[in-house]
Amino acid sequence: MDEMIALDLVDVSGGYVDAPIDPTLDLFAEIDRLKKEKNAVILAHYYQEPDIQDLADYVGDSLGLARQAAGTNADMILFAGVHFMAETAKILSPQKKVILPDLNAGCSLADSCPPDEFAAFRALHPDHLVISYINCSAAIKAQTDIIVTSSNAEHIIRQLPADQPIIFAPDKNLGRYISKVTGREMVLWDGSCIVHEVFSEQQLVRLKVQYPEALVLAHPECEEVVLRHADYIGSTTGILKYAQNSPEKQFIVATEAGILHQMEKTCPDKTFIAAPPGNGCSCNECPHMKLNTLEKVYLCLKYELPELLMEESVRIRALAPIQRMLEMSRAIG
């Protein structure tokens, strides 16, 4: 009863639990204890702050996280990432409680594709197959034939019949890149990521002059002018694996700076340089991802709030294109 009353009094009006934390607590130990007590699993994206990556049960890219969410035996998933990732976990594992430290952790790319406008766009191309990047809302997934991630987009699109017209949404940069490597023409939705579109070609070229030995590793959400300088283009997991397997020692990394934590941790003998944004700001950090903090993770797990809830009719429609993605990308490790 006391616990019920306490939960009623928890303030989540801001989109996250706002409650005092005993300053003497060891948050790492407490999170570990709560995780065991509640049979919860913590899934974190590479763009989370280092502390969160270090305490997570699994750290990965969007494909890896979706696979984990689908396969976990835990009763509860704490998703340390952004809203569309937690939604994907709920779509795949509806019987599990999915909680996320801050409901405000959105995504500029997902926001660039409002469901009503997308429905009108699709209506203009009725014979097209709709392929959507996983960085979109459940309402967009529900209007999609196949979901892809940056790990499997090329692999999946190569499996489609050559004469099948395609709409690709919402990321025009990933769409353009996949179109280039597969030779497939696609109708692109005009969306992009605020983090990946700020990398400056000019600054990157300066950095290459400064570090002539360094290889450039870039995420396909970057603009074409940046991708043109890349020695390797791939998802966050792809970038990490490339650096781990390469005999080279210096890398310029054009994606959200959070990935550097795993790179430095797993390759202590190598140097990683974050590609600079155009205006000297710290906008190579995703402001949405960075809304999650260690304190919010602790409170979220303690109070099991905020919880991600979804209308069942939307979930069912969003599930089919994600399942197609998982089936079509089984060969990708």
164 φψ region: left (φ > 0), alpha (ψ -120 to 50), beta (else): beta
- Tell me whether residue 112 or residue 329 sits nearer to ligand SF4 (CB atom): 112
- Window 208-227: residues binding ligand 13P (CB under 6 A): 219, 221
Is the C-alpha dihedral spanning 124, 128, 129, 134 positive or negative? negative
- Of 107-126, binders to ligand SF4 (CB under 6 A) are 107-109
Distances from the Cα of 65 to the Cα of 45, 68, 106, 109, 264, angstroms:
7, 5, 17, 18, 21
| List 68, 88, 135, 200, residue binding ligand SF4 (CB under 6 A) | 135
Residues 297/100, Cβ–Cβ less than 8 Å? no
Choice between 72 and 135, CB closer to ligand 13P: 135
Mask for 235-274, x = binds ligand 13P (CB under 6 A):
xx--------------------------------------
Given the complex with ligand SF4, which of 34 and 66 has the nearer CB atom?
A: 66
* Nearer residue to ligand SF4 within complex by CB, 74 or 105: 105
Sequential DSSP letters for 181-214: HH----EEP-B--TTGGGB-HHHHHHHHHHSTTP
In whole angstroms, how close is the CB of 285 to ligand SF4 at the nearest point? 9
With CB under 6 A as the contact rule, which of the stretches 9-17, 35-43, 283-291, 307-315 interacts with ligand SF4? 283-291
Binding residues with ligand SF4: total (CB under 6 A)? 13
Nearest to 296 by CA among 77, 23, 101, 48: 101
Token pair in block for residue 221: 């959400």
When asked if residue 256 is in the footprint of ligand SF4 (CB under 6 A), the reply is yes
Residues 6+ positions from 182 with CB-CB distance below 8 Å: 154, 157, 158
Kindly list the residues in this chain that would bind ligand SF4 in the complex (CB under 6 A): 47, 82, 107-109, 135, 193-195, 256, 286, 288-289
